[in-house]
Chains A and B, each alone.
Chain A
Amino acid sequence: MNRIPRRAFAAAAVSAAALLTAMAPASAQEALKVGATFLLGSTDPTAGSAGWALASHGIGEKLFMVDKDGKLVPELAARAERSGELEWTVTLRSDRYFSDGTPVTAAAIGEGFTNTFEKSKTAAATGGKLTFETVDGLTLKVTTEKPVPLIQALFAEWPLVAYTLNDAGEAVYTGPYAIAELKADSHLELAPNAHFDGTERSPITLRKFGDAQTMALAFEAGELDLAFGLPSEVLSRLKANAGLTVKSFQVGYQYFGFLNIARPAFSDPMVRQAVDLAIDRDQLVAAINGGQPATGAFAPYFPFAPIEPRMSDLEKAAGLLDEAGWTLGPDGMREKDGQPLRIEAFAYPQRPDLVTMLPVVKAALAKVGIDVGTQVVENLNEVAASGEFDIFLWAQHTAPSGDPAFFLNSMLRSDGPLNHARYGSDEFDAIIAGFSTSGDIERRAGIALDAQQKLFEDVPVTFLVSPAWHVGVSERLSGYEPWGSDYHVIRPDMGETR
C-alpha cells in the first residue's frame, strides 16, 4: 500500500481548511426562524386581510407607510400631489423592481390596484372605488370616488399593498422577500428578493403557532430567532433565562369592546354608559401584564388620542342602571319587568390578551349587578357579522396609516363595512364626514377628537386598554427593535448578511 506523501497530505489539509472556510458564510445564510400566531392565508392580495399579512411578512410594500416614528412617509411612491377635487398625481420611485425582475411602472402598479378595487370592498372604505390612469412610466393619475384630502394615508391602509399581475394572473410584489413556499396554517418560506436593493439577505422561515404558549416553548427550546407576540404570563420565566432576550413595545393596537346596539340590553344608551363606567381598566392592564388604560380609540402616542384615561366609576354606573329602570334583585343582580339583565360577552383566542380580559370584564360587570355569560370563539368575523353577541372584545390597530379616518370610517360609520356595533348616528357620521374635506393634519386630529367625544357619549364601543406587546429575540437578532405593531414584523434590515 502506497503511503500518502506528506506534501500531498498537507495540500489536502489546506484544501479542506479552505473548503471549510468557504462554507462558513453558508451558516450566515441559514434561514432566520420567525414564530408568530398569524400567517398569510392566501397569496391573493385581495382576500381577507392578506394585504396586511403581505406587508407584515416583508413580501409586499405600499405606496406610503407609517415609519417607526409614527410618521406617514413614502414607501414605493416618491410623492403624491392633488390635481383636482377627486384627482391626484402619484409619482413612483425610480429603479424599483418586482420580485420577478420586471421594473415597477405606473401601468404595472395601476393594474394591481385596479384589481384590488374591483374585488375588495374594504379597500374602498375611505375613498370609494379608485380608478388609475397611466400618465407616464412612473406617474399615475388616481381618481377617487369620494373626496380624499390625504391620499398618502389612504395608500398606507392595509388593503392597499402594491403589486402587479403576471401572465398567469398571479400577484408579484416588491418587498425584500418573495414567497418560496406557503403551507397554509403551518409555515411560509421566504426567499430574499434579489431585485430589492442588491443587499444579500438570509432566507426566512415563518412558522405559525396555534397558540402563543407553544411559541414561547419553541423560543425557549432555541428554535426561533424571533418569537413575535409572546404571552405576558411567560415573561418572567423567559426573562429569568440568561440566554433569552425579551423586548416589549407600545403598539398601535387598541383593545376595546363592541357593544351591540341592536340587542335589547344595549338599545338603551344609559346601560351602555354604565358598562363603560363599570369596567376597571387598571385591573385589565394588570391582568394582561402590560400596557395602559385606553384614553380613547387610538394609542396614546398619536396626536389624535385624548389625554385622559377612560374613567371607571362603579357608583355612577349603578346610578345609571337604576335610572334606566334596572333594579337590584335580592340576589344582587339587576332586572326589569321580571327580566334579568344578562348579556353575552365574546372574545377570540387569536389575541390571547382578550381571552384573559374576558373574566375580568365579567367580574367588573357583576359588581353592578349585570350577569355576563362568556364565550371564546375562533370565527370572530362570522360571529361579529351575525350580530349574535352583546359585547365583543376586539383588538384592532386603529391608525395603521397614521391617520384616524380609516378606523372610524370602516368600523363606526353607519354604513361602515365592519360596523359590528350596529352603530348609526347621523351626528357622528357628520363629524367624520369632515375627513373628506380637510387634509390639514391638525384639523383631522380635531375631527378625530370630536368623533371620539361623540363615541364616549353614545358608547357603541367601550375603549379598554392600549397594550404593550412582547417579542423574544435570539442572539442572532439581538439588534431587532420591534415597531409598527404587527404591520412590519419582517423588515428589510432583519436578514441582512452584509
Chain B
Amino acid sequence: MTAHIVRIGLRSAASLLAVSALAFLVVAFMPSDPVMIAIRAWNLPVDETTISALRTEWGLDRPFPARYLSWLADFVTGDWGRSFRTGEPVLDEFSSRLPLSLGIGLGGLTLAAFAAIPLGFAAALKPDGVADRLSRLLAITVQAVPAFWLGLVLIWVLGVQLRLISPFSAGIDVMALAGGLVALHSTGMLARVYRRDLIEQTMQPYYRTALAKGLTRRQALWRHGHSSALYALLSAMRSEAGWAIGTTAALEVLFGLPGVSQFLVQSISARDHSVLLAYIMVVAGWMLAMNAGVELAMRRLDPRAAR
C-alpha cells in the first residue's frame, strides 16, 4: 500500500510539474504585457525607466526557461507573487478563500455521493419505479438547467418571495444552498452510474445463488452488488470533480461568496498573471488530489485493481 501511495504521489507531482510548465507558457504568451498592466493599474508613468525597472524586478528580461524555473522555485517555497489588483500576496488571498471554495465543492460532491447511493439503490431495486424515474429525470434536468439559473430561481423564491434565506449574506444557509446545488448537479449522474452497476450485478451467477439461498432481492443487491457499484460510483466522481469546480465558481459569483473563483473572475479581466497561475495550479492540485483519493479508495474496495 505504501509503495502504491508513493507511486501515486510521484505521478501526481510529475503531472503537476507538466501542468505548471504548460500554464506558465500559456500565461506568459497571453496577448498582454504584465508590465504595462501594472503600470496602468498602479498609475505609474509610462517611461523607459519605469518599464525597464519593472522588467528587471520581475525577471522579464531573462530567458523563458530561467523565468519559469525561478517562478516554480518561488511557488513551491510559498512565494506565489503579488496580485496586481489588490497588492496583496496571492498565497494569502488563496489561503483565506480556499476553505470556502473547497467547502462548497467538496461538501457538495460528498453530499451527492451520499444521496446517490440510496437513490441509485432504490432505482435498481425497482427498475422503472418512482426512484428510477426520479434519478433519470434529475440526471437529464441538471444537464439542461445551469446551476447559475437554478440558483437565481431559488434566490427569487426562497429569498425574495418567501424570505426564508438571506441569499447574499454569505451565511450558513447560503453555503448550504450552494453546496446543495453542487450536489444536485452530480447526484442524478452518480445515482445512474450506481444503479447501472447494481443492475449488472443482478446478471451475475453469485447474485442468483444468493437469491436461491433465500436472501431477498434487497439483501442480495446490498451484500453482493454494493461494493462493485460503489467502485463504479467512485470512478465517476473523478469526472464530477471537474464539474464541481465550474459549478462552485458560478455559484460563488451568483451568491457573492468570497471564494477563489470569484477572485479569479476579476483577475482574468485584469490579466493578473500571478493569480491566474496560482488558480491553474490549485485546480490541477484539486483534480490530482481527487484522483489520488478516489484511486486509493477504489484500491481498498478492490485490491485486484492493483494487479
Q: Which residues of A contact B (CB under 8 A)?
A: 35, 41-44, 46-48, 119-123, 159, 183-187, 207-210, 214, 217-218, 220-223, 377-379, 381-382, 385, 417
Contacts and interface: CB of A to CB of B under 8 A. Distances in A.
Given A207-B168, A214-B254, A122 B88 contact: no
Contact of A119 (B42, B254, B263): B42
Contacts of A42: 85-88
A420 to B, nearest CB: 12
Interface residues of B, number: 41
Nearest to B42: A47
B265 A223 contact: no
A13 B166 CA distance: 34
Interface in B80-104: 83, 85-88, 93, 96
Nearest 10 Cβ contacts at the A-B interface: A378-B269, A186-B258, A120-B43, A221-B159, A379-B269, A184-B86, A218-B168, A121-B45, A185-B266, A42-B87
Given A42-B85, A221-B167, A183 B258 contact: yes
A286 B152 CA distance: 27
A186 B256 contact: yes
Nearest to B38: A47
A48 B258 contact: no
A210 B265 contact: yes
Contacts of A184: 83, 85-86, 88, 93, 263, 266
B46 A121 contact: yes
B256 A221 contact: no
A371 B271 CA distance: 30
Contacts of B266: 184-185
A66 B191 CA distance: 63
Interface of B: 32, 36-37, 40-46, 83, 85-88, 93, 96, 152, 155-156, 159-160, 163, 166-170, 253-254, 256-258, 262-263, 265-266, 268-271
A382 B84 CA distance: 13
28 contacts: A41-B86, A44-B42, A44-B87, A46-B42, A46-B43, A47-B43, A119-B43, A121-B45, A122-B43, A123-B43, A159-B43, A184-B83, A184-B263, A185-B262, A185-B265, A186-B170, A187-B256, A214-B256, A217-B152, A217-B155, A217-B156, A217-B160, A221-B160, A378-B269, A381-B40, A382-B40, A382-B269, A382-B270
B159 A48 contact: no
Given A119-B43, A221-B155, A223-B166, A185 B263 contact: yes
A186 B169 CA distance: 11
A221 B159 CA distance: 5
Given A41-B86, A44-B87, A221-B159, A379 B270 contact: yes
